Amino acid sequence: MIAAVRLPRQQRWEVEESLEELAGLAAAAGATVVHRVIQERGSPSPALYFGSGKVEEVGEAARAVGGNLFISDDPLSPIQERNISETLGIKVIDRTALILDIFAQRARTAEGKLQVELAQLTYLLPRLVGQWSHLERLGGGIGTRGPGETQLESDRRVIRRRVMQLRRELEHVQSHRRLQRQGRRRAGVPVVALVGYTNAGKTTLLNRLSGARLTAADQLFVTLDPAARLVEQGPRPFILTDTVGFIRKLPHELVAAFRATLEELKDADVIVHVVDASHPAVDEHMDAVDRILGELEVVHRPTVLALNKIDRLEHGPALEALTARRDGVAISAVTGQGLPDLLKAIDRVLPVSGAITLRIPHADGAALALCYERGRVLARVDEPQHVVVDVEMPQAWAGSVAAYRVLD
């Protein structure tokens, strides 16, 4: 059973689309949706989030259809979660807990399991309140802590200790990934990273371009563990990396836990934003990805927009308008349509072979900022009137600073 609250600032279709996505997440976790509820309220109820009458209505429906799990599309506080569960008599979770459960099922590598466990414990810690409330008043007199409070503090200590251990282990993972990236740099092969909403077709695209056979399916969050493959098609070879898909209302616990993996994006020469162009909420999906890229501080990386799944669209004015409006490349990772154009677009923004030396006046701070934002500064020497930098820059931006180039 799934439910959502529609607030006055929200459109009806937005809530319905989000609830449909929640149904897809439930299916990915192995659940079957037997009842859906959307309640319109001026504001959430502090005690139950939903109205008390609506919760009773859901309870009657649960008994009628045999529902044994209630999933809220919106985040629930620990108190709200407990109150709804006591009223319904069944287990209650929210979207965050559902996504964490899917990640726990899908994680395969040791790194992925560490990241998921860290996210789960971070989510669980504030929800320990009330777990031992039936014991909290069994202790002695004034100033004496009851066994409930003692058990609660003990659980918190265990979880915090484990969280610290996981963070240390992930720091080692981060160091290992840093060494891997340095090795790629020494090899001189540029890196292109795929990002996008979950189920946008990133893994299918990686398989098509690299010849890999990674698992891909028309399902949410099929790929969790990062993958890197060499692509030798197109004008220049490059390493293509795949990352976990994003989603609206992505739990902050996951963003924090997967930061070591997502830092691959910071080191990528080019980011390819893969979009499911056939999805009715394509604009909302793109905005969700852009917000997360902003949190990761990689919005200034050279980016190519790949409008995927055009094989599901009718070719005509609608597709042309979408391509023009978003300045993207229309492709189909399944059929291979448009991939030569995508490879050309990637090559245009890849760094030029070798570094160029620029002698930039102090007065032109914008040119120096461009070197850091759109290129990779390898060396810098500050002179009285100029800044001399050795920089690798995409061909598309090198022309903007060509006047300062130092010729051999």
Q: Using CA atoms, how far apart are residues 371 and 379, in angstroms rounded to an integer? A: 11
Q: For the chain, how many structural domains are there in total?
A: 4
Residues 24 and 89 in one domain: yes
pLDDT band at 141 (very low <50, low <70, confident <90, very high): very low
Mean pLDDT (whole number) for 360-383: 86
* 90 lies in the same domain as 134: no
- Does any domain span residue 400? yes
Residues 136 and 76 in one domain: no
Average confidence (pLDDT) over 34-46: 90
DSSP element (H, E) containing 345:
helix 339-349
Supply the range of the domain harboring residue 34: 2-95
Domain check: are 82 and 215 in the same one?
Answer: no
Q: What percent of the chain has pLDDT over 90?
A: 12
Pair (270, 328) in one structural domain: yes
Residue 408 reports pLDDT greater than 80: no
Scored b (16 or more CB within 10 A) or e, 250-281 reads bbebbbbbbebbbbbbebbbbbbbbbbbbbeb
Please say if the pLDDT value at position 365 is more than 70: yes
Q: Which of 27-31, 68-72, 212-216 has the lowest mean pLDDT?
A: 212-216
What confidence tier does 361 reach under pLDDT thresholds 50, 70, 90?
Answer: very high
Q: Is residue 51 part of a domain?
A: yes
The sign of the dihedral angle between the CA atoms of 91, 97, 102, 104 is negative
The answer to whether residue 179 sits within a structural domain is no
Mean predicted confidence (pLDDT) in 223-229 = 70
pLDDT of 388: 93
pLDDT number for residue 143? 44
Give the mean model confidence (pLDDT) for residues 311-327: 73
- pLDDT tens-digit map of 242-301: 877 788 777 776 676 666 566 667 778 888 999 998 888 888 888 888 888 887 777 777
Say yes or no: 344 and 361 in one domain: no
Examine the domain organization and report whether 205 and 343 are in the same domain.
yes
Task: Give the pLDDT score at 257.
Answer: 62
Confidence of residue 381 (pLDDT cuts 50, 70, 90): very high
Judgement on whether residues 228 and 321 belong to the same structural domain of the protein: yes
The structure's pTM equals 0.71
What the block records as the tokens of 286 is: 């793109």
**Beta strands 386-392 and 376-382, pairing class:** antiparallel
Residue 229 CB neighbours (<10 A): 15
Pair (163, 17) in one structural domain: no
Based on the fold, state whether residues 330 and 313 are members of the same structural domain.
Answer: yes
Average pLDDT over residues 58-85: 89
Supply 64's token pair. 């009628």
The pLDDT of residue 133 = 43
Residue 382: both structure tokens together:
């500050």
* CATH code for position 272: 3.40.50.300
Residues 9 and 84 in one domain: yes
What one-character-per-residue DSSP string does 190-238 give?
-EEEEEEBTTSSHHHHHHHHH-------SSTT---S-EEEEE--SSS-E
pLDDT reported for residue 265: 75
Q: Give the separation between CA 79 and CA 225, rounded to whole angstroms.
A: 34
